[in-house]
Amino acid sequence: MEVAETIEEIRRMVKTAHDEGRKIGLVPTMGALHIGHISLIEAAVKNCDFVIVSIFVNPTQFVPGEDFEKYPRPLEADLKICRQAGVDAVFAPLPEQMYPGENVTWVTVEKLTEPLCGQSRPEHFRGVTTVCAKLFNIIDPDAAYFGRKDAQQAIVIKRMVADLNMPLEIVVCPTVREPNGLAVSSRNQYLTAQQKKDAANIYKSLQTCRGMIDAGTTETHQIIAEMRKILQQIPSGQIEYVSIVDAETLESIDKISGKVLAAVAVKVGPARLIDNILVDAAK
């Protein structure tokens, strides 16, 4: 496995792979790799001939006061995971490589970035779309792999790629969970064992949502009230949002119909946790 720290190095590796006619898959990450990331790598390895994992804690997607400085950066352990998972190259640039000076050019996706996480994290998605556009320009992958765990992010990236005619496929992979249902996340490291147990209520609330929709409940306010009751049982929990939205437009809905996204953000102790499920009410 090769490791590139500069744009020049990764471009050279990509050029060789392109010249050999290989299908290039990119898995963009912020490192602190876990089984969720590994599932994306496995999907990429299965479908592509040259798999690149980017590891970059992107400063522009953190809002002031968030955990940018303390975000875990276990690079050696990450490289080992990548090697074991069959990755061909890791792109781990220093911030100066990606942002050599003041950044004045941004990629902004409107509307889809306003609800849910956009409410409390203004400019977060602008940072995500800008860094992904840069990575796509640097690496020119045939496919890029994202997790459903960050459903809004995946929808925003898909839209950016469609609207800007970027020539790659966006593949969205299922959320990987702990045995108790908690979505695996690099930020789970901030939790105590007890908080991890308590945070299982996040998935429990989403399952309750699915159960109510399956049982025929159509009023979203009724479902959200039940979900909130479950989330309020998390002792150190602070609910940021509990929303049920149209799965494509992310617009709030009063009555369930078709495909909906139920999404939750809760601060548990020091960690801001998000999770979601897709429910097709037509089924």
Catalytically annotated residues = 37
Binding residue (CB under 6 A) for ligand AMP from 184, 200, 239, 281? 184
Q: Which residues make beta-bridge pairs with 144?
A: 26, 170
Angle between helices 151-163 and 124-139 (to 10 degrees): 50
Q: By three-state DSSP, how is residue 232 classified?
A: coil
The yes or no reply on residue 176 touching ligand AMP (CB under 6 A) is yes
Binding residue (CB under 6 A) for ligand AMP from 13, 24, 40, 135? 40
Closer to ligand AMP at the Cβ: 39 or 243?
Answer: 39
> CA of 130: how far to CAs of 87, 109, 180, 197, 211, in Å?
24, 10, 35, 35, 38
Binding residue (CB under 6 A) for ligand AMP from 25, 36, 237, 269? 36
Distance, CA of 264 to CA of 198 (rounded, Å): 15
Distance, CA of 182 to CA of 204 (rounded, Å): 9
The yes or no reply on residue 278 touching ligand AMP (CB under 6 A) is no
Query: Considering only CA atoms, which of 134, 130, 113, 131 is closest in space to residue 122?
Result: 113
Stretch that binds ligand AMP, among 146-154, 193-201, 202-210, 253-261 (CB under 6 A): 146-154
Stretch that binds ligand AMP, among 7-15, 130-138, 160-168, 182-190 (CB under 6 A): 182-190
Closer to ligand AMP at the Cβ: 54 or 97?
Answer: 54
Stretch 15-34 residues interacting with ligand AMP (CB under 6 A): 29-30
Query: Considering only CA atoms, which of 201, 188, 177 is closest in space to residue 67?
Result: 188
The yes or no reply on residue 149 touching ligand AMP (CB under 6 A) is yes
Q: Which residues are CB-contacts of 44 (< 8 A; sequence separation ≥ 6)?
A: 25, 26, 27, 51, 143, 145, 171
The yes or no reply on residue 134 touching ligand AMP (CB under 6 A) is no
Total site size for ligand AMP, rule CB under 6 A: 17
Closer to ligand AMP at the Cβ: 141 or 220?
Answer: 141
Binding residue (CB under 6 A) for ligand AMP from 37, 124, 159, 272? 37
Distance, CA of 50 to CA of 18 (rounded, Å): 9
Q: Which residues make beta-bridge pairs with 244?
A: 262
The yes or no reply on residue 175 touching ligand AMP (CB under 6 A) is yes
What are the residues binding ligand AMP (CB under 6 A)?
29-30, 36-37, 39-40, 146-147, 149-150, 173, 175-176, 183-186
